[in-house]
Amino acid sequence: MPIHALYRGCSQLLDALFPAECLSCRVGMEQPHQLCDACLRQLPKQPENYCLRCGAWAVGVQQGCGNCLNALDKSADASYFAYYYEGQIAQWAVGFKFADHSEWSRLLGWLLWQRLQRELSWESPDLVLPVPLHPLRLIKRRYNQSALLARVLAGFLRVPLRTDGLRRIKRTQPQTHLNAVQRAVNLRGAFRAKQSVVAGRAVLLVDDVFTTGATTGAAVRALKEAGARRVAVTCLAAVHHGETTDPASQS
């Protein structure tokens, strides 16, 4: 029997044994790793009141906050957040990052895509790139949760995933107990981008949780310094303004 026929047979058998169901309420579904419409509607909405460029909390900002407007060549061109970091989304994000639930990437990537499909398609990036972990932390955690999300998004967008475009060259201390200014200092010079991958390209940078923007800000700066033409940032969830001591922010 050819291998693909065998594979199809196995997958049909698995579908018969474990029919797809909503991961929250267990109602029957056509596709696995998804939520039904009713559960999807209950998830915390997209955040409001943030700088449309860097994602920092700001009221009434249309084109960019003061920081962005002062350094346009080093700031993100757009930021898109799918959900507020709270409730079920926060629980999943923590389990995904710290409790070895790498298998949740298909669900979480799909959830992000449900909210941001239009915006990210409009961006039409040339490549998708995750915020990298330092190699030592990657060994400890065994996977980079942002890279798993980025892989799912790259699949939906049908553009290449490049995990070699950005490296973490500085081992930064965990950010949980740092304020916004300390985080920015902690991350200064933490990333280096590869010119041959990003120069002249439109890049979609993917992270799981957005807290103060220190991490993505430092990554964007490195990408722009290496000649990226446009950098858009997307995150599964954004922490409410003022809540900077969440357990999932120590990437």
CB 95 within 8 A of CB 170: no
Q: Report how far apart, in Å, the C-alpha atoms of 194 and of each of 167, 186, 213, 223, 251 are.
A: 8, 22, 22, 8, 21
| Segment contacting Zn ion by CB under 5 A, of 39-47, 116-124, 148-156, 241-249 | 39-47
* DSSP string for residues in 200-251: T-EEEEEEEEESSSHHHHHHHHHHHHTTBSEEEEEEEEEPPTT----GGG--
- Give the CA distances from residue 188 to residues 123, 148, 168, in Å, rounded to whole numbers and listed in that order: 27, 25, 11
Select the residue interacting with Zn ion from 43, 47, 57, 65 (CB under 5 A): 65
Cα dist. 38→84, 89, 130, 214 in Å?
18, 15, 30, 35
In whole angstroms, how close is the CB of 12 to Zn ion at the nearest point? 24
Number of residues that bind Zn ion (CB under 5 A): 12
* CB-nearer residue toward Zn ion: 107 or 197: 107
| Distance from C-alpha of 108 to C-alpha of 236, rounded to nearest angstrom | 7
Per-residue mark of binding to Zn ion, 163-182 (x: CB under 5 A): --------------------
Q: Which is nearer to Zn ion, 109 or 217 (CB)?
A: 217
* List 21, 22, 167, 170, residue binding Zn ion (CB under 5 A): 22
Options 43, 68, 131, 147; binder of Zn ion; rule CB under 5 A: 68
User: Applying CB under 5 A, which of residues 39, 94, 138, 202 lies at the interface with Zn ion?
Assistant: 39
Stretch that binds Zn ion, among 3-11, 62-70, 170-178, 224-232 (CB under 5 A): 62-70
Whole-number minimum distance, CB 133 to Zn ion, in Å?
25
Tokens of 243: 């809540």
Please identify which residue in the block is written with the tokens 């346009």.
72
Least distance to Zn ion, CB of residue 55, Å: 7
Find the length of the chain. Answer: 251
Q: Which range in 46-54, 92-100, 120-128, 144-152 contacts Zn ion by CB under 5 A?
A: 46-54
Residue of 53, 115, 201, 224 interacting with Zn ion (CB under 5 A): 53
Contact residue for Zn ion among 54, 128, 152, 214 (CB under 5 A): 54
b or e along 9-43 (b: 16 or more beta carbons within 10 Å of the residue's beta carbon)? Answer: eeeeeeeeeeeeebbbeeeeeeeebbbbeebeeeb
Binding site for Zn ion (CB under 5 A): 22, 24-25, 36, 39, 51, 53-54, 56, 64-65, 68
